[in-house]
């Protein structure tokens, strides 16, 4: 089980990096252009949806022997990553322990990595939804830039 926690932390970082790097390329121009808030928001939302669609073309994808990334989607300023733990049913894992093991790695990556700086600067929420092999939800972990301030 310990290897599961370690692998899940690594996969979260990998997928975040891919997604964040893509969004940076698609809408990186936003940081230098002067937009009205409505235009800026619309462009961010459009960019998030575009990257989500591109990532989804490669899914589902096995991240490791126990974890599959099934889909991503973007709604306004929120990106959701849906994972399935292919060897475990949700009832087999204590969701509190799972969240306590995942949280530090996910929050550290979100708040400190160069790839996620666009998410932090623009308060884009990342939600990590984990499901067991039976399709039942195990955990939903939400991170936004307000947690960076409280965790530093």
Own/partner contacts of 134-143, CB < 8 Å, gap of 24 or more, are 134/89, 134/90, 135/84, 136/89, 136/90, 136/91, 137/90, 138/85, 138/90, 138/93, 138/95, 138/98, 139/95, 139/98, 139/99, 139/102, 141/99, 141/102, 141/103, 141/106, 143/106, 143/107, 143/110
Q: Is residue 4 scored above 50 in pLDDT? A: no
pLDDT tens digits, 82-133 = 999 999 999 999 999 999 999 998 999 889 988 888 889 889 999 999 999 9
Model pTM? Answer: 0.76
Q: Which domains, from first to last, does the chain contain?
A: 2-151 (3.30.300.250)
Q: Is residue 65 scored above 60 in pLDDT? A: yes
Question: Averaged over 59-78, what is the pLDDT?
Answer: 92
């Amino acid at each position: 089980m310990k290897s599961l926690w370690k692998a899940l932390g690594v996969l979260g970082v990998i997928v975040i990096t891919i997604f964040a790097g893509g969004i940076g390329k698609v809408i990186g121009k936003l940081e230098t252009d002067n937009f009205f808030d409505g235009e800026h928001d619309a462009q961010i939302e459009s960019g998030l949806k575009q990257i989500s669609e591109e990532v989804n073309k490669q899914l589902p994808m096995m991240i490791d022997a126990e974890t599959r990334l099934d889909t991503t989607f973007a709604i306004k300023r929120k990106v959701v990553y849906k994972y399935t733990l292919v060897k475990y049913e949700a009832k087999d894992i204590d969701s509190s322990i799972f969240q306590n093991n995942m949280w530090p790695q996910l929050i550290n990556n979100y708040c400190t990595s160069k790839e996620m700086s666009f998410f932090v600067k623009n308060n884009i929420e990342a939600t990590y939804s984990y499901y067991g092999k039976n399709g039942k939800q195990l955990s939903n972990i939400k991170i936004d830039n307000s947690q960076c301030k409280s965790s530093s």
